[in-house]
Amino acid sequence: METYSRTYEIRWADLDANGHVRYSAYIDATADVRYRFFAEHDFPPEAFQKLGISPVYTALSAQFLREVRSGETLNINYLLAGLSPQGSRWKVQHDLLKANGKKAAVISLEGTILDLNTRRATVPPAELLSLIRQLARTPEFEEMPESRWLK
């Protein structure tokens, strides 16, 4: 699959007191990209709810490389950076690119799929795992061990 990406226009509400994009706005924008990806590939939030599962983030890191201000447009890429064989653990990376193509920020997440009834990590259903595997991979993609919390 080609790299999944969406455009995001920086709004006044996304700014901090210095006139830069606040870190939580980046995190919110990347969350929107992830959910759009799944919804556009026939796995909307209701599908997660129906199956009683949800992605849970266990680690988050952010690198801020360039200043971004109100009115600018970012292209947000969604890439797979790691996956365990059964899909109980995964890493994703979002590259946020300015209009000139230069990287403004990188948001990386690690997580698992949570069974909402048992509150423990679980293996995603086959259709979800297949969809995750279709994401374009980072050059540093790694095979991860399964979650230690796997039920």
Nearest residue to 5 (alpha-carbon basis) of 80, 77, 108: 77
- pLDDT by residue for the chain (151 residues), tens only, comes to 799 999 999 999 999 999 999 999 999 999 999 999 999 999 999 999 999 999 999 999 999 999 999 999 999 999 999 999 999 999 999 999 999 999 999 999 999 999 999 999 999 999 999 999 999 999 999 999 998 877 6
- pLDDT of the residue at 150: 74
The yes or no reply on domain 4-143 and CATH 3.40.50.10740 is no
Nearest residue to 60 (alpha-carbon basis) of 126, 110, 103, 8: 110
Torsional sign, CA 49, 119, 41, 34: positive
Cβ 109 vs Cβ 60: under 8 Å: yes
Contacts with 72 (C-beta within 8 Å, 6 or more apart), sequence order: 9, 10, 98, 99
For 84-122, how does the pLDDT look when each residue is reduced to its tens digit (9 = 90+)? 999 999 999 999 999 999 999 999 999 999 999 999 999
Supply the Cα-derived Rg of the chain in whole angstroms.
Answer: 16
- pLDDT of the residue at 34: 96
Contacts with 104 (C-beta within 8 Å, 6 or more apart), sequence order: 64, 65, 66, 67, 68, 74, 96, 97, 98
**CA-CA distance, 81 to 30, in Å (whole number)?**
15
